[in-house]
Amino acid sequence: MTGPSRGILTAGERQFACALGKGGLCPAEDKREGDGRTPVGVFPLRHLMYRPDRWPVAPETALPVQPLTPQDGWCDDPADRAYNRPVPLPYPASHELLWRDEAVYDLIVDLGYNDAPPQPGRGSAIFLHIAREGYPPTEGCVALSREDLAWLLRHCGPETVMEIRG
């Protein structure tokens, strides 16, 4: 089941199918905005964002938790001072909507990639989120089934990291 945009996420003794970027994996230093690649490296799990209308009770996790609103976005404009940061909507620079009709962003874990501090153009919005049916490629994120992501969250805390290997 692995391929350039498919992978296996291992957590202890458990393994989960996951979707990766449509451009496959790349060394973190080669990652560029919009290239569709998932960066290789070790990244902390920063916090969980979730849709409270679809998860009336916050998912169980020891990560910091933030309910989303329709006014939540994430800046992906390398020329903007808020690059690779959450932004309130409406926002004048290019951004992703975090409140979506489809379920992929019902649960979003912000991976600590290119955020300390963000380097313009090195990639933004690298998340762990819910996979679409059949695990099609992402834009550079790691995506799990809803059930697998909920299980994983129950076993994560502030010290948890994700290692992405090529």
CA distance 3 to 20: 9
- Amino acid 4: pLDDT: 84
CATH code for position 64: 2.40.440
Please indicate, yes or no, if residue 1 is contained in any of the structural domains.
no
Active site residue 95: no
- Amino acid 2: pLDDT: 57
28 is in which domain, residue-wise? 6-164
Of 18, 26, 75, 141, catalytic: 141
Of 26, 75, 95, 129, catalytic: 129
Please indicate, yes or no, if residue 34 is contained in any of the structural domains.
yes
Per the structure, the count of domains in the chain is 1
Please indicate, yes or no, if residue 110 is contained in any of the structural domains.
yes
pLDDT at residue 151 is higher than 60: yes
pLDDT digits (tens, 9 = 90+) for 24-41: 999 999 999 999 999 999
Active site residue 129: yes
CA distance 93 to 122: 17
Please indicate, yes or no, if residue 148 is contained in any of the structural domains.
yes
pLDDT digits (tens, 9 = 90+) for 40-49: 999 999 999 9
CA distance 147 to 99: 20
Q: What is the pTM of this model?
A: 0.96
Mean pLDDT on 54-66? 97
pLDDT digits (tens, 9 = 90+) for 86-128: 999 999 999 999 999 999 999 999 999 999 999 999 999 999 9
Mean pLDDT on 68-85? 98
CA distance 107 to 101: 13
Q: In 106-141, which positions are buried (b, 16+ CB within 10 angstroms) versus exposed (e)?
A: bbbbbbbbbbeebeeebbbbbbbbbbeeebebbbbb
